[in-house]
Structure 1
Amino acid sequence: VFSSVTSVINMSIFKDQFVLEELIQEIEKKSTALSFGPLQSNGHVSVQGSFPAIKLLREFLLAKAKSLSEEDKREESKTHQRPRRKLQQHRLATEMSNSTRDADGGKQVVVLDTDVYHYMKHFFPRTLLMKNDVAISDVVDKDTTTLYIQKAGRGPAADQVLRVKEKIESQSVKLHNTLRKERIYFEGRRRDEKKRYTWVCEHLKSQYPSLLTIPYDTHIDVIGNSSEVFQFTKAVKN
């Protein structure tokens, strides 16, 4: 069993979005479970702490690097890059504090498919209800949703936090194996046709009580078991 480990992290990939020195200082203040060494000229920094805390840091930074890469691709202009950089830095430091705090078991993290999360939240709300000593918060990021499960009170609740996590994971596995999503696109449709699709979906929902429909500006997502999704989308298109 490793009581403490040291890892070298390459932070240079964030240099175009953040001031690295300030970013590391903010993360260090928020992450009391970790100890950061000095920032090297090549962007490397050594981090020491418990293995769970180091693992959470690694997973978080990898996910954030991927997210920033996707955001940069969508960036149309660099005129607002500087203020956006500060906003990203503040957000990253805040999220980092949420990811590494209480890495000894007082906090658990579950990553779900966003469609599964929406379905679970709608049809199995009790699974996601906050308990007496446990609080659940979510961060939705496109196709994935991260749930943070942590102690809400001062008393020891690590076992209860773990039980809530296991219950959510068990339910998500069942749903992941049975759910299917179909997307009804509005592309090329007139406004009156979009309204008709939306009205038909609302009208048919009573016949398919186990289906979840989520309307967007460009499409409607239909989530449920395979046969009902097929029947529903066929009825809507007809």
Structure 2
Amino acid sequence: QAFLCVTSILSVAVFRDHLVLEDLVEEMKKQSPGLDFGPLQPDGQIAVQGSFPALRKLREFLLLKAKSLSEEDQREGKSHQRLRRKVQEHRGATEMKNSIGDTHRETQVVVLDTDIYHYMKSFHPKILQAADVVISGVTDGDITTVCIDSAGSTGAAQGLRAKRTIEIFSVKLQRILRKERICFKEPSRAEKQKYKQLCGRLKPRHPGVLLLPYDTHIDVVGTSACVFGFTEDLKR
């Protein structure tokens, strides 16, 4: 099902400490003249409507803006950030929904941080399951778009309920999860295999952590206590 017109509720409150939000909104309007912007709310939320590709371009603009501000923070010594801050910086939007009226089929969309999505899928898979709906995720780097497809009036109600459940649970995870990145000393196959085997041996002792392997590093995601325990074991 194609998204011809999408309404997105953006939260730009995360930029409040760095920018004048009204000026940021004006910059967003110049960046995306094809989108319709609603009034900026006191809590930093603003409704934006337009085509899905145009909203994706706006999202990329906000990601670059957030990344540059994040790099400034790191240069100032703010190097340790929780996933909650990361989601706010990289996402910029807490929800997107299909605005086309369709009595037979509806699609709800929730945008999540990819680490949050993988953790939810691994440790709380029932959150991503519901009767009368089909829930699927599409990952694009740090962002995962969760689509909730439903059919009929009963399915539509279930879809809205599933969407709300995912949103509420993702907020809980944002508050308690953190991530530690373990970088390989050298980008060799032997080095990656060594870390893979070591992490494999340690994982049974730390069932509460999620290991996400990449070409140059391994991300360890979990609560502060779980991540700390795993990384301390890894150093021994």
Fold agreement, TM-score > 0.5: yes
- Gap regions ≥5 residues in structure 2: 8-31, 37-46, 64-96
Aligned length: 168
Establish whether residue 121 from structure 1 lines up as the match of residue 150 from structure 2: no
Gaps (5+ residues) in structure 1?
A: 1-26, 35-42, 48-53, 71-97
Structure with bigger gyration radius: 1
Matched residues in 2 for 1:64 and 1:218: separation? 28
1:103, distance to aligned residue in structure 2 (A): 7.5
Give, in whole Å, the separation in 2 of the partners of 1:99 and 1:33. Answer: 5
Moved more, 201-210 or 155-164: 155-164
The yes-or-no answer on 1:227 pairing with 2:220 is no
Please tell me the residue identity of whatever aligns with 1:122: S
Q: Within 1, Cα distance between the matches of 2:100 and 2:108?
A: 10
Give 1:194 deviation, angstroms: 2.5
Deviation at 1:156, TM superposition (A): 4.0
**Residue aligning to 2:90:** none
RMSD, aligned α-carbons: 3.5
Q: Report the TM-score when normalising by structure 1.
A: 0.59
Deviations 1:126-165 (A, max 9, x none): 1112x332111222122221212121x3454222111111
**Aligned mates of 1:191, 1:134 — CA distance in 2:** 42
1:25-81: CA deviation from partner (whole Å, max 9, x where unpaired): xx8xx63899xxxxxxxx97698xxxxxx94536762333454999xxxxxxxxxxx
Q: What residue in structure 2 maps to residue 75 of structure 1?
A: none
Deviation of 1:125 after TM superposition, in Å, equals 0.6
1: distance between equivalents of 2:35 and 2:221?
45
Alpha-carbon deviations, 1:177-227, whole Å to 9, x = none? 101100101143554333221111011110111110011111101000112
For residue 50 of structure 2, give the secondary structure of its aligned residue in structure 1: helix
**Residue 66 (structure 2) aligns with:** none
**Mapped partners of 1:57, 1:141: distance in 2:** 21
Alignment partner for residue 156 of structure 2, among 153, 158, 162?
A: 158
Q: Give the one of 201, 205, 208 matched to 2:206.
A: 208
Q: 1:69 to 1:108 in 2, by over 3 A?
A: closer
